[in-house]
Amino acid sequence: MPEITEDEQIIKTEFSEVMQKSYIDYAMSVIISRALPDVRDGLKPVQRRTLYDMHELGIKYDSPYRKSARIVGDTMGKYHPHGDSSIYDALVVMAQDFKKGMPLVDGHGNFGSIEGDGAAAMRYTEARLQKFSQEVLLADLDKDVVDFVPNFDETEKEPSVLPARLPNLLINGTEGIAVGMATNMPPHNVGEVIDTVKAYMLNPEISTLELLEYLKGPDFPTGGIVVNKDELWSVYESGSGKIKIRGRVESEKVKGGRERLVITEIPYTMIGANISKFLLDIVSLIETKKTNDIVDISNQSSKEGIRIVIELKKDADIENVKNLLYKKTKLEDTFGVNMLAVCDGRPETLGLRDIIRYHVDFQRELLRRKYRTLLEKELEKKEIQEGLIHACDVIDLIIEILRGSKDLKMAKACLVEGKTEGINFKSRISRKMAEQLRFTEKQAKAILDMRLYRLIGLEIEALMKEHDQTLKNIDNYKDILTNPKSMDKVIIRSLDGFKKEYATERKTEITNAGEAVFEEKKIEESEVIFLMDRFGYARTIDLQTYERNKETVDNENKYVFSVMNTGKICVFTDSGQMHSLKVMDLPMGKLRDKGVPIDNVSNYNSQKERYIYVSSLERLISQKLCFITQKSMMKQVEGSEFDVVKRSVNASGLSDGDMVISVSPIVAEDVVILRSKEGFYIKFLLDEVPFKKKSALGVRGMKLSENDLVEKAYLYAYGCEEEVMVDGKAVDLSKLKLSKRDGKGTKIRIK
């Protein structure tokens, strides 16, 4: 073992402690540096860096578009050392007007659609800043209003936060998944947000309920109707809760006295692939006969807006169909609110008042820093202006000093300190006057840099006016910095300006609406015949059709049994699962119809499992089942155990590598025979197999050698003569000697 030098040391620590610390560090990095927005500007780091990079590149709202690839590459190289896809995805979302209340990026090209189409590759699209971003998020960066921090490799500086003039967190909302936490905030109306901020500034003790008189609720870019207005107070007070939102449905009259429903606005949660799912859900309602009133459905949406048309039968109950859509599809959905943001470097769930309070405090800090910077510039300007004004009064003396000095240094020393050594003056009086000069360094520099045209009378007059304005600015800035009321007036004045520029009409209606009640037409209960072929295609036919074609049906199908049309079918698989499906979900067809795969109407997956027993729940409840696995585990289970609400349940516990080979209903059988792959047979009474719960493993029926498995199981009434075919040869099982369970069995050689 090598010796440890003085500069090296081994630190012994618990592995669990190292893992815990590493995981916490990683989690905090994801929370603070990626997934959650800052409460002050409402932006995640990738969004902030992308907007700042566009600002630095000069891609402003009134300048030409630039390739998205250039923006992404520059952002990644300078500020955000992660994958280019994360930067481009952020850029795309900031440009999508159907996701953001106020888009922050002006995209040119294919930036995706509301129906879930993705944006074109970054090499094809172009972008530039929106005017809103430039004026509301990026203004005054040159006035030292926010701190700049080193980038990842300390070669550049980036703002720790953008100087947002409006609460972007509320206006555009946000969503993000961190480690152990997530944020999801809806967008709001710009004008209402501004009014809410003003109301808080005028009365800091205002309650959330009073604030909601100004901020009515979320304003989704897709419109829609929020139907739980009375519950919004709780959501905005606590920062979490649920908002119920519906799409807007209108009825139109068409020829023939019929009407149709037209969906013109969708819930915000339906954006993307959920629109296609919504259409499929309606088709499913028709196929499963939940409604007979819908004739056709078409998606006629375009760039002009959403238009989904549902054609109805004549004399259809329109309100009932509407309620069906609200109840059974995503036309009414829930938006889960979780107003989580980074505040003072840590994640915090915020109510509406908290967000407004943080924003107002941030605005005051921005103004303090802005006007402190402006005041310093005005004081510097005042100093120079006073120097120039005084210089104009003694301009002849200054010219004499300049003409009599040997170099610039000598002239500057005379102006600043009154040193006259080495300077030739016309008279002793001029020398004495020069000795009294005490200009500051900045004034002296300005005088020496002054051009002769500044001595014109009009220029001197303009200088005096400029000086008066500078004095007014200084008084104004000092008043803003020392008087909180003056500062608040400035904030409110800017808010009014933004409202005039960017306020829009509300898109989402806020109201109270009762729960959608759909009166499902009562199904007339009747007996039907369930059919399932060996390929797993299932359907139902009526009794009369079956009776007329009994022989054909029995020959062509693996499972044929009667069942009530309101009942359920249970499918047991080799993976130990029981999947149930409603008879109503199966097509009621003619004799030669193909049916549907049971994969389509249940959780059964034919790619991963194989069905081994199918029965109706009605028949199953009165039965007892015997389960046998290939590792020889056995149990008896009461059929009533499978009368459950879930679509899939664990029908049998299995050890690793085991699978169910037989699920058999027990009628009069009292003997079980197991056959292994290696040709061993064992025969014992079924009474030796105990009754167990459906999730139990069971007991061993046969001792198997290391590589042997149970291949086949037979259940018979004791004393019956039974012959089976094995590898094309007949085997008489009745001659097997009755033994006890869990024996090795007898090997039978087939001749």
Query: Which residues are designated catalytic?
Result: 124
| Dist CA 613 CA 279 (whole Å) | 34
| Dist CA 291 CA 310 (whole Å) | 13
Backbone phi and psi for residue 493, each to the nearest 5 degrees, phi listed first:
-65, -40
Question: CA nearest 392: which of 450, 321, 468?
Answer: 450
Strand 105-108 versus strand 126-129 pairing type:
antiparallel
| Dist CA 100 CA 95 (whole Å) | 8
Angle at 500 between CA 498 and CA 501, to 5 degrees: 65
Cβ(660)–Cβ(627) under 8 Å? yes
Cβ(107)–Cβ(127) under 8 Å? yes
DSSP 501-531: HH-----SEE-B-PPP---PPPPPP-EEEEE
Q: Is 503 exposed, middle or buried (0-12, 13-18, 19+ CB in 10 A)?
A: middle
Torsion (CA) 554, 557, 562, 567 in degrees, nearest 10: 180
Two tokens, residue 409: 């240094």
597 DSSP β-pair partners: 537
DSSP 161-221: S---SS-HHHHH-EEEE-SS-EEEE----HHHHHHHHHHHHH-TT--HHHHTTTS-S---T
Residues 6+ apart with CB under 8 A from 478: 375
How far CA 33 is from CA of 77, 89, 178, in Å, comes to 17, 17, 10
Question: CA nearest 355: which of 193, 502, 230?
Answer: 193
Residue count of the chain, please give it: 751
Question: CA nearest 337: which of 245, 243, 269, 222?
Answer: 243
How far CA 643 is from CA of 542, 568, 609, 636, 638, in Å, comes to 25, 10, 22, 16, 10
Q: Which residue has the tokens 């109950």?
A: 317
Question: CA nearest 383: which of 323, 448, 471?
Answer: 471
